[in-house]
Structure 1
Amino acid sequence: MIQFEQVTFTYPGAAEPALREVDLDLGEGELVLVTGRTGVGKSTLLGAVNGLVPRFTGGQLRGRVAVAGQDTAHFPPQEFAHLVGVVGQDPLAGFVTDTVEDELAYGMEQLGLSSEVMRKRVEETLDLLGIAELRRRALSTLSGGQQQRVALGSVLTAHPKVLVLDEPTSALDPTAAEDVLAAIIRLVHDLGTTVLVAEHRVERVVQYADRLLHLPGDGTVRDGAPAALLTDSDVAPPVVRLGRLAGWRPLPLSVRDARRRAGELRERLAGHAPPASAPGGGAVALAARRLTVTYGATVAVSHVDLALHSGEVLALMGRNGSGKSSLLWALQGSGPRRSGTVDVSGTDPGKVPARRARALVGLVPQTASDLLYLETVDAECAQSDTESTAPEGTCRALLDSLAPGIPGGRHPRDLSEGQKLALVLAVQLSSAPGVVLLDEPTRGLDYHAKARFTEVVRELAARGSAVVVATHDVEFVAGAADRVAVMAEGEIVADGPTARVVVSSPAFAPQIAKVLAPQEWLTVEQIAGVLAQEKGVPA
C-alpha cells in the first residue's frame, strides 16, 4: 500500500538529510507505529506519504514514494485526498469550518459525494468517535481533546485507504484515547485501512501495532516487530523498561503481558514500601473559594474550593471537557469568572493589572506558542525581562537551564515543541511567580524530554513555588506529582496523595501501578532503586 524506495530527503540549508536511503513496503491493513525522539524526522516521514514533503516544505527528495501504486512526485497532495487521510499535531490549524458537523462534511463536499452519502457517513463517524453530543458545537469552544477527535473524524468520513496520524492521542484523556484507538483498530481489522501513526506516548499504542518503525536520529529507519526493536530502543514505554529491568524475554508490550510475568517481582517488592509523598507541607500559596466559571449557559467550573501549597506539585486530571483549563485561567486571573475568590498573598490576581497578576501566578497555556509573538528567541527574552522588571539576562539564563543551546537568533516558531515550551516557561518564570500553572505541558515531548521536564517541575517546587499541571499524561504524573486532584463536570471529585488517587483508578493509573497492583509502585525508577539496594549497588 505504501512504498518508500531509497528515499533521501534534505531540508533547505540543512547539513544532513532528515531521511536517508529509506526502504519500506507497508501492506494493506497494517497498523504501523513510528517512534523516535523529538526532531529525528517522524513528521517528515509522515509528510512524505502524500507529498506534503517536499511540495510544501521545500528541500530535495530523492528516491520514490508511492501510495496504492501512485507516485507522489506525479500528483499534488490534493490528488491523494481520497487515498490518504492526514491528521497533524495541531488539529485547530487544520479546521476550515465553524462547527463540528460542517467540519466532518467538508472533506466529502470537496470529493463531490452526494448529500445522502455525506449524511450517513457523518452519523457513522459521530458514533464511532463518541462525539455525537458535539455535532452543533462551534469548533472554537471545544477542548483540545475534543478538537483532536473532530480532526480525526474529518478525515475518516472520506473513507481513505491510508490514515497518517501525528500524535493522535496527545490531547486525549486515557479513556478517550482508548476509544479513539479502538476506532482505529476497527478500521484496520474490519476495513483493511493502513494506519501509520507517530506517537510519543508509545505505551498507548505499541500493544496494537503490527510493525514498528524507529528513527534513531541519523536519518535511517529501523523496521521490525515491536518486541524485537524495543529490546534496545532509546524510546520505550514503562512496561517495556520494567521488562528490561526484570530480565523478561520476550519483552511485554502490554500491562496484561507484564502482569502474567510479575508474580516473582511482586514477591520481591512485598517487603519494601514505595516512597511516600507528603503533600500540603508548605504554606498556602493560593486559596480559591467557591470558584465558578460559565460560558453562556454552560457551567465549566462549579463552586470549586482549592488550596495550593508552596513546594508542592499538584496534577489536575479529568476527562476532556471537565473544566481543567477553565479552572487554570480563572486561578491566573485572565479567564472569566462568574463568582468566587482567589487569594494569592492577600491579592486576587483577577482584580489587578495583567503585569501584576503575572508576577503572582504564571500560566503556560496548552499551545505554548500562543505567548510567542516576536521575531527571535533573544527578543522574546529581552521583552520578558523588561515586562517583568527583572535584571537583563534573567529570562535567557532560565532558558539555558531548561533547554541549553537554543540559538538566540532563531525564530520562536521554528523551535521544536519542547523548545517552545522551555522558552514560554522561561518567559513566565522571569516574573518569579509563587504559583506556576501548566496546561498540558508534555504534549509533543518524548520520554527523554519529559524526564528533563519532570526535573524542571521538581526544581520549581524545591524553590518554593506551588506548581499545578493540568494533564492527561498519567506516566508524567507518576514521576512528578505529590498530589492529584480529579475534575468531572466542573467539580473536583477526588483530591489526595498521588499514589492513593491514581492506583485505585483504572483510567488514571500508570502502567507500573497496573502491573504491580495492589502494591502502590508508580515508576520504573522506584523499582530500580529497590533492586539496586538488594544487590548493594547505589541506586
Structure 2
Amino acid sequence: MITFDRVTVRYAEDGPPPLRDVTLTVEEGELCLVAGRTGAGKSTLLRAINGLVPHFTGGTLHGSVTVDGRDTRRHPPRDLADVVGVVGQDPLSGFVTDTVEEELAYGMEQLSLPPAVMRKRVEETLDLLGIAELRNRPLRTLSGGQQQRVAIGAVLTSHPRVLVLDEPTSALDPTAAEDVLAAVTRLVHDLGVTVVLAEHRLERVMQYADRLLYLPGDGRVVDGPPATVLTGVELAPPLVELGRLAGWDPLPLSVRDARRRAAELRGRLAEGAPPAPTPAPEPTAALSARKVVVRYPGTVAVAGVDLDLQVGQVVALMGRNGSGKSSLLWAVQGSGPRQGGTVTVTGSAGSVDPKSLPAHQARRQVGLVPQTPGDLLYLETVDGECHQADKETEAAAGTCRALLDQLTPGLPGDRHPRDLSEGQRLALALAVQLTAAPPVVLLDEPTRGLDYLAKRQFVSLVRGLAADGRSVVVATHDVELVAALADRVIVMADGEIVADGTTAEVMLASPAFAPQVAKVLAPAPWLTVDQVAAALVAQREPA
C-alpha cells in the first residue's frame, strides 16, 4: 500500500537529512507505529506519505514514495485526498469550519458525496468517538482533547484507505485514548485500513502495532516487530523497561502479557515496599484560591473550586477531557475568565491577585505554559525568543537558552519557531516562561511531543524548581509522568475536584489512572520502574 524507495529528504543543503536512503513497505491493513526522539524526523516521514513533503514543506525529496500505486512526486496532496487521511499534531490549526458537525462533513463535501451518505457517516463518527454531545459546539470552545477527537473524526468520515496520525492520543485522557485506539484498530481489522501512527506514549499503542518504525535521529529507519525493535533502543515505555529489568524474553507489549510472567518478580518484591515520601516541612502557602468559578456560554467549566498550593510541592492536575483543568489554570493565572472567587499568591512582594496586575507583572507571580505553546512565541528565531525572555525578565544572558538545552539539547538558534516540531516548540515556550522564575508555575499538558528521555529531563527540571521553593502544577493525562513526578494528585470532573491526595493514594485507587508498573505488580503499591530497580538493588546489597 505504501512504498518508500531509497528516500532522502533535505530541508537545507548543508544540514543533516531527517530521512536518509529509507526503503520500506507498509502492507494493506497494517497498523504501523512510528517512534523516535523529538525532532528525529517522524513528522517528515508521515508527511511524505501524502505528499506534504516536499510539495508544501519545501526541501527536496530524492527517491520515490508510492501510495496505492500513486507516486507522490507526480500526485500532490489534493490528488491523494481520497486515499490518505492525515491528522496532524495541532488539530486546531487544521480546522476549516466553525462547529463540530460542519467539520466532520467538510471533507466529504470536497469529495462530492451525497447528502444522505454524509449525514449517515457524521452520525456514525460522532458515536464512534463519543462526541455526539459536542455536535453543535464551536470548535474553539472545545478542550484540547475534544479537538483531537474531532480532528480524527473529520478524517474518518471520508473513509480513507490509509490513515496517517501524528500523536493522536497526546491530548486525550486515558479512557478517551483507549476509545480512539479501539476505533482505529477496528478500522484496521474490520475494514483493512492501513494506519501509520506516530506516538511518543508507546505504552498506549505498542500492543496494537503490527510493526514498529524507529527513527534513531541519524536519518535511518529501523523496521521490525515491536518486541524485537524495542530490545535495542533507548526509548522504551515502562512495561518494556520492567521487562528488561526482570530479564523477560521476548519483551511484553501488554499488561496482560507482563502479569502472566510477573509472579516471580512479585514474589521477590513481596518483602519490600516503595520508599515512603520524604516528610514535608511545615507547609507554606504559595497560592490560595477560593470559590473559583469559570463560565462559558452554555456550560460551567469550573464550579466553585478551592485550591491551595504549597511551596516546594509538585501537583498533578488530572481528569477527563473537558473536566475544567485548563479553565482552572487560566483563572488562577489571571489571564483567563473568572466570574467568581479569589486567588492570592504569597511571595516576596506580599499577597496579590495576579488578575489585578498587568500581564508582564502577573507572569512574574504565576507562569503558565498553555496547551498550544506557539501562542507564546512571536519572534523570528529561537535565539530571538531566548534573548527577549532574558531581557523582559532581567535574567542573566543565556538563562533561557540553558533551560531550553535541558529539555531539548542542540536546537538550532536560527530556526523559526513555526518550523519546530510540537515537542521542540513546547520546550521553547516552557523555557521562556521559566526564565521569569515565578513562585508558582502552571503547565498545561507540558509533555505533549516529548519523548521518554526528554520527559526524564523534564522531571529533573520540575523537581529542581520545587527544590528551589517553587510550587508547580502540571495538568496532564500522562499517568506515567505523574507517577514519576508528582507529590500530590488532584482529579477534576465536571468542573469540581473529586479527589485530592498523595500520588500513591490517588493513582493506586483508580484503574484509569494507574501506571503500567502498578497494573503489573498489583496489589503491591509500586508505581515506577525506578522504585522496583532500587528495591532489587537493595536486596543484592549485604545487610
TM over 0.5: yes
Q: How does 1:77-92 map to 2 (within 5 A)?
A: 77-92=77-92
What residue in structure 2 maps to residue 465 of structure 1? 470
Cα deviation 1:272-309 (Å, max 9, x = unaligned): 12122358643110011111111123100011111101
Q: What CA distance in whole angstroms lies between the structure 1 residues aligned with 2:395 and 2:60?
A: 45
Cα deviation 1:173-225 (Å, max 9, x = unaligned): 00000000010011111111010101000010000111111112222212111
Cα deviation 1:109-160 (Å, max 9, x = unaligned): 0001111111111111111111100000000000000001000001101100
Question: Match of 1:344, SS?
Answer: strand
How has the CA–CA distance of structure 1 residues 265 and 73 changed in structure 2, closer, same or farther, with 3 Å as cutoff?
same
Question: Match of 2:133, SS?
Answer: helix
Alpha-carbon distance, 1:507 to partner = 0.7
Alpha-carbon distance, 1:394 to partner = 4.0
What residue in structure 2 maps to residue 233 of structure 1? 233
Quick check: 1:375–1:412 contact (8 Å CA) kept in 2?
Answer: yes
How has the CA–CA distance of structure 1 residues 363 and 60 changed in structure 2, closer, same or farther, with 3 Å as cutoff?
same
Alpha-carbon distance, 1:395 to partner = 3.3
Q: What CA distance in whole angstroms lies between the structure 1 residues aligned with 2:406 and 2:478?
A: 24
How many residues of Structure 1 are paired with residues of Structure 2 in the alignment?
538
What residue in structure 1 maps to residue 343 of structure 2? 342
Q: What CA distance in whole angstroms lies between the structure 1 residues aligned with 2:137 and 2:36?
A: 36
Quick check: 1:65–1:73 contact (8 Å CA) kept in 2?
Answer: yes
Alpha-carbon distance, 1:417 to partner = 3.5
How has the CA–CA distance of structure 1 residues 109 and 418 changed in structure 2, closer, same or farther, with 3 Å as cutoff?
closer
Q: How does 1:233-272 map to 2 (within 5 A)?
A: 233-272=233-272
Q: Is 1:414 the equivalent of 2:415?
A: no
Q: What CA distance in whole angstroms lies between the structure 1 residues aligned with 2:160 and 2:248?
A: 39
How has the CA–CA distance of structure 1 residues 421 and 73 changed in structure 2, closer, same or farther, with 3 Å as cutoff?
closer
Q: Is 1:441 the equivalent of 2:442?
A: no
Q: Is 1:529 the equivalent of 2:530?
A: no
Q: How does 1:382-421 map to 2 (within 5 A)?
A: 382-421=387-426
Question: Match of 1:230, SS?
Answer: helix
Quick check: 1:277–1:498 contact (8 Å CA) kept in 2?
Answer: no
Quick check: 2:407–2:454 contact (8 Å CA) kept in 1?
Answer: no
Q: How does 1:8-407 map to 2 (within 5 A)?
A: 8-278=8-278, 281=281, 282-345=283-346, 346-407=351-412
Quick check: 1:34–1:42 contact (8 Å CA) kept in 2?
Answer: yes
Q: 2:339 is aligned with what amino acid?
A: R
Q: What CA distance in whole angstroms lies between the structure 2 residues aligned with 1:72 and 1:364?
A: 38
Question: Match of 2:323, SS?
Answer: coil
How has the CA–CA distance of structure 1 residues 159 and 16 changed in structure 2, closer, same or farther, with 3 Å as cutoff?
same
What residue in structure 2 maps to residue 425 of structure 1? 430
Q: What CA distance in whole angstroms lies between the structure 1 residues aligned with 2:328 and 2:377?
A: 23
Quick check: 2:304–2:496 contact (8 Å CA) kept in 1?
Answer: yes
Q: What CA distance in whole angstroms lies between the structure 2 residues aligned with 1:21 and 1:398?
A: 34
Q: What CA distance in whole angstroms lies between the structure 1 residues aligned with 2:479 and 2:3?
A: 36
What residue in structure 2 maps to residue 493 of structure 1? 498
Quick check: 1:332–1:361 contact (8 Å CA) kept in 2?
Answer: yes
Q: What CA distance in whole angstroms lies between the structure 2 residues aligned with 1:477 and 1:448?
A: 15
How has the CA–CA distance of structure 1 residues 26 and 426 changed in structure 2, closer, same or farther, with 3 Å as cutoff?
closer
How has the CA–CA distance of structure 1 residues 137 and 234 changed in structure 2, closer, same or farther, with 3 Å as cutoff?
same
> 190-199 or 26-35, which moves further after superposition?
26-35
Q: 1:331 is aligned with what amino acid?
A: V
How has the CA–CA distance of structure 1 residues 510 and 57 changed in structure 2, closer, same or farther, with 3 Å as cutoff?
same
How has the CA–CA distance of structure 1 residues 81 and 444 changed in structure 2, closer, same or farther, with 3 Å as cutoff?
same
Q: 1:422 is aligned with what amino acid?
A: A
List alignment gaps of at least 5 residues for structure 2. none
Cα deviation 1:68-102 (Å, max 9, x = unaligned): 11211221111111100000111111100000000
List alignment gaps of at least 5 residues for structure 1. none
Quick check: 1:54–1:60 contact (8 Å CA) kept in 2?
Answer: yes
Q: 1:103 is aligned with what amino acid?
A: E
Question: Match of 1:420, SS?
Answer: helix
Quick check: 1:280–1:312 contact (8 Å CA) kept in 2?
Answer: no
Q: What CA distance in whole angstroms lies between the structure 2 residues aligned with 1:396 and 1:305?
A: 36
Q: What CA distance in whole angstroms lies between the structure 1 residues aligned with 2:48 and 2:354?
A: 47
How has the CA–CA distance of structure 1 residues 400 and 229 changed in structure 2, closer, same or farther, with 3 Å as cutoff?
closer
Q: TM-score, normalised on structure 1?
A: 0.96
Alpha-carbon distance, 1:38 to partner = 1.2
Question: Match of 1:82, SS?
Answer: coil
Question: Match of 1:231, SS?
Answer: helix
Alpha-carbon distance, 1:397 to partner = 4.4
Q: What CA distance in whole angstroms lies between the structure 2 residues aligned with 1:294 and 1:183?
A: 32
Q: What CA distance in whole angstroms lies between the structure 1 residues aligned with 2:368 and 2:61?
A: 41
How has the CA–CA distance of structure 1 residues 439 and 160 changed in structure 2, closer, same or farther, with 3 Å as cutoff?
same
Q: 1:306 is aligned with what amino acid?
A: L
Q: What CA distance in whole angstroms lies between the structure 2 residues aligned with 1:193 and 1:88?
A: 18
Quick check: 2:108–2:118 contact (8 Å CA) kept in 1?
Answer: yes
How has the CA–CA distance of structure 1 residues 397 and 21 changed in structure 2, closer, same or farther, with 3 Å as cutoff?
closer
Q: What CA distance in whole angstroms lies between the structure 2 residues aligned with 1:10 and 1:444?
A: 22
Q: 1:118 is aligned with what amino acid?
A: M
Q: TM-score, normalised on structure 2?
A: 0.96
Question: Match of 2:16, SS?
Answer: coil
Quick check: 1:142–1:321 contact (8 Å CA) kept in 2?
Answer: yes
How has the CA–CA distance of structure 1 residues 52 and 416 changed in structure 2, closer, same or farther, with 3 Å as cutoff?
closer
Q: 2:385 is aligned with what amino acid?
A: E
> 262-271 or 369-378, which moves further after superposition?
369-378
> 504-513 or 7-16, which moves further after superposition?
7-16
Quick check: 2:106–2:154 contact (8 Å CA) kept in 1?
Answer: yes
